[in-house]
Structure 1
Amino acid sequence: MPRTKDEALTEKRRNEILDAAARVFVRHGFHRASMRQICGEAKLSAGAVYNYFPSKDQIIEGLAAREQEEIAELAAYLAETDNAQKALTGAIRLMVEDTNAADARLYVELTAEAGRNALVRERLVATDAALQECLLEAIRRGQAQGSVTKARPAADLLALLTAVYEGFVGRLAVDGDSECKAFAKLAADAVAILLKP
């Protein structure tokens, strides 16, 4: 069912606030960021922002929900592609390519905050579990069809894929967007070698 004009406007405004909050979190850190700074970054009154997100914790919930949607899209892509090895290689490449330096820095910031904030930790654990599940399912499918090596258990291959992705995202946080395309190709090449039967 198509969204009404009001629903589309609400979704647009929510995303604008989430984007503004992400920029503030990257600049100031989640712990030091204030709702006032988020309102200023979003160029909205406090009342408007609080109408959508009554607290920073609610913003974290919103960011996590957005991440879950992206993971659902990735899971669908992995399930729809016949050759699991090619799907996984392409997925890692796209994941790195679609991550800009600001996204990488936000991930690093939220990971650090997870050590202090139980809600942030809970949300990160949930999104990570969803991502791990869809990757593991694709690895197992690839092993069953012969497009992914069986020399290592699927869980080991998952750990290696995760390390490749998180390593490149960590480098993006430091090196910036200029390295994004090069890192995406390197990540895809590394995954292709790791998964080759």
Structure 2
Amino acid sequence: MSAGNLYRYFRSKDAIVAGLAERDRAQMASDLSVIGPGDDFIAAFRELGRKHFEEEPRERAILGLEIWAEATRNREVAATVQEFEGDLIGHLTDMIAAAQENGSVSRLNEARDIAVLIATLADGLFVRRATLPDFDAGREVGHVLSIIGALLKGHITLSQGVSDAGASS
């Protein structure tokens, strides 16, 4: 589709970004909704990792990176990205809290802290997927899933603040 034709459907570049974000938000909600509180979180995240880093075209990650870059200079796009991030963290936090309630995830760390770390790790994978043509999804996603698994099992304790990270014992 030509750029001119695209603007028949969207009033501006910001509206295009908002439309893409809404599409991705609906997809994210759908992807996360299949994970029940009693499900194996590691297996579920492995499937999501495979979908987003092996099955989805690399161009989708590149587009996401371009939207993030635009968010650094455009308040409207920044608000859209922030809203999307808030939804993602909210969904993950609710899922993790429910799994903590039923005992399938350790209560050692706060559900929201776990959710933020998962989102941070996923963001890094998206950047690597977008910028490295030889990105090894199976290997890198596997490493990230190992970390997430250890976190969910309570083998990793998250610090409670930046000042704790550098403190000596």
Q: Matched residues, percent identical? A: 26
Measured in 1, the distance between the counterparts of 2:149 and 2:57 equals 23
| 1:120-169, Cα deviation, whole Å (9 max, x unpaired) | 11110111111111111111011111111111111221222122211222
Alignment match, 1:132: 89
- Choose the corresponding residue for 1:105, options 62, 81, 97: 62
Alignment match, 2:46: 90
What is the TM-score normalised by the length of structure 1? 0.67
| 1:81-116, Cα deviation, whole Å (9 max, x unpaired) | 632534653355244444543222222221121121
2:80 is the alignment partner of 1:151 = no
Q: Which runs of 5+ in 1 are unaligned?
A: 1-16, 18-37, 40-45
Q: Which amino acid aligns with 1:123?
A: T
Q: Which runs of 5+ in 2 are unaligned?
A: 155-169
- Choose the corresponding residue for 2:120, options 153, 163, 173: 163
Measured in 2, the distance between the counterparts of 1:86 and 1:99 equals 20
Q: Greater CA deviation, 111-120 or 182-191? A: 182-191
Measured in 1, the distance between the counterparts of 2:57 and 2:70 equals 20
Q: Match of 2:8, SS?
A: helix
- Contact 1:85 / 1:196 at 8 angstroms: preserved in 2? no
2:129 is the alignment partner of 1:172 = yes
Alignment match, 2:79: 122
Measured in 1, the distance between the counterparts of 2:116 and 2:104 equals 18
* Greater Rg over alpha carbons, structure: 1
Question: What is the count of residue pairs matched by the alignment?
Answer: 153
Measured in 2, the distance between the counterparts of 1:121 and 1:131 equals 15
Residues 1-197 of structure 1: pairs in structure 2 closer than 5 A: 39=3, 46=4, 48-78=5-35, 80=36, 82-83=38-39, 85-86=41-42, 89-90=45-46, 92-94=48-50, 95-176=52-133, 178-197=135-154
Aligned CA-pair RMSD: 2.3
Note the C-alpha offset of 1:173.
Answer: 2.1
What is the TM-score normalised by the length of structure 2? 0.77
Q: Which amino acid aligns with 2:8?
A: N
Counterparts in 2 of 1:159 and 1:57: CA distance versus 1, 3 Å: closer
Measured in 1, the distance between the counterparts of 2:14 and 2:135 equals 32
> Going by fraction, where is helix more abundant, 1 or 2?
1
Counterparts in 2 of 1:84 and 1:143: CA distance versus 1, 3 Å: farther
Greater than 4 Å deviation, 4+ residue runs: none
